[in-house]
């Protein structure tokens, strides 16, 4: 069920990377780097606009959408907006890409993307799964994304908050995006669609990365931006299934996408060689990365445009990727957090109920910014590690997690990639080498028979030894110069957890709500 396309001068359908780059350069959409990657600048929007995202409130969505966190748009406003977007695009060349979301053919979603910008279609071509020639010949889109980056909505006429909009109409199977050039909106809109559709098919949609070991042992990594999700899943000893969005069905885990969207601020060849190499390849899209004026080389340390610099590239640019985009049922589940308060241990084992609690919490902490007077970290809670993309109540997804854990017996670990020896500004960041050692030990089963201690504040089990990791850092309290200061900070963080979780209490089982901090 799709609507007709706007009347365009030409529909330039399913062009390959070379032609898309040629069009983008000729049209002044961006520049090439010294190695041939394409760069675009998306100011003023250099990140997602969650307050400009809307779901149409109709008979299909009225009772099922989590309206506490999803803004409503009336069907009438959507119809007016769509008509005006199509009128705006009429007479323009439109670039079109027909792509699949979902590596498992049983659950994949055929999506048609249309945009006046060539580089945005190169982006989605990188990010989603490209059909074969035979599949293209019979391609029937189920969802359509109409992209009008230069069109500004009228809040009075269209029911929006600003000129920017990401409007999802599940009944019409149409997404409208406008008023922003930020490419991440294209991929995350379809993730939201899958978060609506797949639970009805008993598929658990997840905002996570995934990889697989030589023995076929799959693992998934949940975590918000800056926690190390992409870095830790791109392990040279394991094959990458995907870096951001997956489904867990009765057949196992599968990637929703065919590419990676890596954050590249301060990227280095020494620290992340595979991701760095991908940024040097033709067909990669670099978003808001500053270029050297003389030789057009990327300056990954520069944040003059934004901290949220990104690279979009096909997953095959990572040498050890899993070509089919699928794996078996995960043996290990990792929740990543960057605790800037310096409270959480670097690794802890969670019970299934604790896993559901921390999944619903989706905790990390952002460090203090450059604003004068801001001296403390800021706690960030994002339900299911992806609240902006959840059309349904978080309890729906947490229940699915609990059912998958019960059925398949996966071990769940909470891994803190944040601060030790004190909070941000006093302590130091966990060493990546130590975090890698802990994650690898967990994946290999090396901690299954380890000795554990019970964390007195959060109640989870913390190993007393991990191979290749100094034992002293496993107990965060012992790393602080002043243990009493740690106790006060831990109590403060526990209260934040409890205060945040109160918003979900009515929608989850009482034993899950009781699986949080022991004290507050």
Q: What is the pLDDT of residues 237-264, one digit of tens each?
A: 999 999 999 999 999 999 999 999 999 9
Tokens of 70: 């999803």
Report d(CA 246, CA 425) in Å as an integer. Answer: 35
Residue % of the chain over a pLDDT of 90: 89
- CATH top class, domain 11-29+44-201: alpha beta
Confidence band for 371, pLDDT divided at 50, 70 and 90: very low
484-493: long-range contacts (C-beta < 8 A, 24 or more apart)? 486/342, 486/343, 489/341, 489/342, 489/343, 489/423, 490/343, 490/457, 491/457, 491/519, 491/520, 492/341, 493/339, 493/341, 493/343, 493/344, 493/379
Answer yes or no: is pLDDT of 456 > 90. Answer: yes
Res 313 pLDDT > 90: yes
Whole-number pLDDT of residue 482: 96
Q: Is 163 exposed, middle or buried (0-12, 13-18, 19+ CB in 10 A)?
A: middle
What pLDDT, in 10s, does the model give residues 268-290? Answer: 999 889 899 999 999 999 999 99
* pLDDT of 4 strictly over 70: no
The burial class, CB within 10 Å (0-12 / 13-18 / 19+), for 309 is: buried
pLDDT value of position 374: 41
- Find residue 211's DSSP bridge partners: 219, 240
The answer, yes or no, to whether residue 373 has pLDDT greater than 90, is no
DSSP 155-171: HHHH--SSS-EEEEETT
Q: What are phi and psi of 46, to 5 degrees?
A: -115, 15
What is the per-residue pLDDT across 89-131, written as a single tens digit (0 to 9) for each?
998 899 999 999 999 999 999 999 999 999 999 999 999 999 9
pLDDT, the chain, mean: 94
Helices 118-127 + 184-197 axis angle, to 10: 40
- Over 70: is that where the pLDDT of 372 sits? no
pLDDT tens for 35-91 read 999 999 999 999 999 999 999 999 999 999 999 999 999 999 999 999 999 999 998
- DSSP for 252-316? EEEES-SEEEEE-TT--TTT-HHHHHHTTSTT-EEES--B-TTT--B-TT--SS-S--EEEEEGG
pLDDT band at 369 (very low <50, low <70, confident <90, very high): very low
Sign of CA dihedral 192, 194, 199, 204: negative
pLDDT of res. 520: 54
Other Cβ atoms closer than 10 A to 478: 12
| Catalytic residue positions, numbered | 48, 188, 207, 225, 229-230, 244, 310
Average pLDDT of the residues in 304-325: 95
Going by the DSSP 8-state scheme, the letter that residue 410 receives in this structure is: -
Decide if 11-29+44-201 and 331-513 have a common fold.
no
The per-residue pLDDT for 7 is: 64
pLDDT digit string, tens, across residues 140-167: 999 999 999 999 999 999 999 999 999 9
3-state SS class at 202: coil
Q: Which comes out higher in pLDDT, residue 401 or 234?
A: 401
Residues 438-473, buried b or exposed e (16+ Cβ, 10 A)?
bbbbbbeeebeebeeeebebbbbbbbeebeebeeeb
Decide if 243 contacts 229 (C-beta within 8 A): yes
Question: Residue 230: pLDDT band by 50, 70, 90 thresholds?
Answer: confident
Q: What is the architecture of the domain spanning 261-317?
A: Beta Complex (2.170)
Q: What pLDDT shows up at residue 368?
A: 53
Contact partners, residue 107, CB within 8 Å, separation at least 6: 198, 201, 203, 247, 249, 254
Dihedral pair phi/psi, residue 236, rounded to 5° = -60, -15
- DSSP β-ladder status, 109-115 and 31-32: unpaired
Say whether 440 sits in a helix, a strand or coil.
helix
Domains of the chain: which residue ranges? Answer: 11-29+44-201, 261-317, 331-513
1 has pLDDT over 60: no
- Cα distances from 442 to residues 150, 216, 413, 480, in angstroms, run 47, 15, 8, 26
**pLDDT value, residue 5:** 60
Rounded distance between C-alpha atoms, residue 65 and residue 234, angstroms: 34
SS3 content of the chain, % helix, strand, coil (to 5): 30, 25, 45
Q: CATH number for 331-513: choose from 3.30.470.20, 3.30.1110.20, 3.90.228.20, 3.40.50.1820.
A: 3.90.228.20
Short-list 307, 340, 364, 338, CA closest to 425? 340
pLDDT band at residue 377 using 50, 70 and 90 as cut-offs: confident
């Amino acid at each position: 069920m799709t609507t007709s396309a706007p009347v365009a001068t030409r529909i330039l359908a399913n062009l390959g990377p070379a032609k898309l780059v040629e069009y983008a350069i000729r049209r002044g959409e961006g520049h090439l780097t010294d190695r041939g990657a394409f760069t675009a600048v998306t100011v003023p929007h250099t990140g997602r606009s969650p307050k400009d995202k809307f779901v149409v409130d109709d008979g299909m969505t009225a009772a099922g959408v989590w309206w506490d966190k999803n803004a409503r748009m009336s069907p009438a406003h959507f119809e007016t907006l769509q008509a005006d977007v199509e009128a705006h695009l009429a007479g323009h060349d439109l670039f079109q890409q027909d792509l699949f979301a979902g590596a498992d053919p049983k659950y994949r979603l055929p999506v048609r993307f249309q945009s006046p910008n060539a580089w945005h279609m190169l982006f989605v071509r990188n990010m989603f799964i490209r059909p074969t020639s035979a599949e293209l010949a019979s391609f029937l889109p189920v969802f359509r994304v109409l992209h009008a980056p230069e069109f500004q909505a009228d809040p009075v006429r269209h029911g929006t908050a600003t000129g920017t909009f990401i409007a999802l109409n599940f009944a019409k199977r149409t997404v409208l995006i406008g008023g922003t050039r930020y490419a991440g909106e294209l991929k995350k809109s379809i993730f939201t669609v899958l978060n609506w559709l797949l639970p009805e098919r008993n598929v658990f949609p997840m905002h996570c990365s995934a990889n697989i070991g030589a023995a076929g042992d799959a693992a998934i990594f949940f975590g918000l931006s800056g926690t190390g999700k992409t870095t830790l899943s791109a392990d040279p000893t394991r094959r990458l299934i995907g870096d951001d969005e997956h489904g867990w069905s009765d057949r196992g885990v599968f990637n929703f996408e065919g590419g990676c969207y890596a954050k590249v601020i301060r990227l280095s060849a020494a620290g992340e060689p595979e991701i760095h190499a991908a940024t040097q390849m033709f067909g990669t899209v670099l978003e808001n990365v500053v270029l050297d004026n003389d030789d057009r080389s990327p300056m990954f340390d520069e944040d003059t445009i934004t901290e949220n610099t990104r690279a979009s590239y096909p997953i095959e640019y990572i040498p050890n990727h899993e070509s089919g985009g699928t794996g078996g049922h995960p043996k290990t589940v990792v929740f990543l957090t960057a605790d800037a308060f310096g409270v959480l241990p670097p690794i802890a084992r969670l019970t299934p109920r604790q896993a559901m609690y921390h999944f619903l919490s989706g905790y990390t902490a952002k460090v203090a910014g450059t604003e004068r007077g801001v001296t403390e970290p800021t706690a960030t809670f994002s339900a299911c590690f992806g609240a902006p993309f959840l059309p349904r109540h978080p309890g729906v997804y947490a229940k699915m997690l609990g059912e998958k854990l019960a059925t398949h017996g996966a071990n769940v670990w909470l891994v803190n990639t944040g601060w030790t020896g004190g909070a941000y500004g006093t302590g130091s960041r966990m060493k990546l080498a130590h975090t890698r050692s802990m994650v690898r030990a967990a994946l290999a089963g090396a901690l299954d028979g380890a000795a554990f201690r019970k964390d007195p504040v959060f109640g989870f089990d913390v190993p007393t030894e991990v191979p290749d990791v100094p034992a002293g850092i496993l107990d965060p309290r012992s790393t602080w110069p002043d243990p009493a200061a740690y106790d006060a900070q831990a109590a403060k963080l526990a209260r934040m957890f409890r205060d945040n979780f109160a918003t979900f209490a009515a929608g989850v089982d009482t034993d899950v709500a009781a699986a949080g901090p022991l004290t507050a």
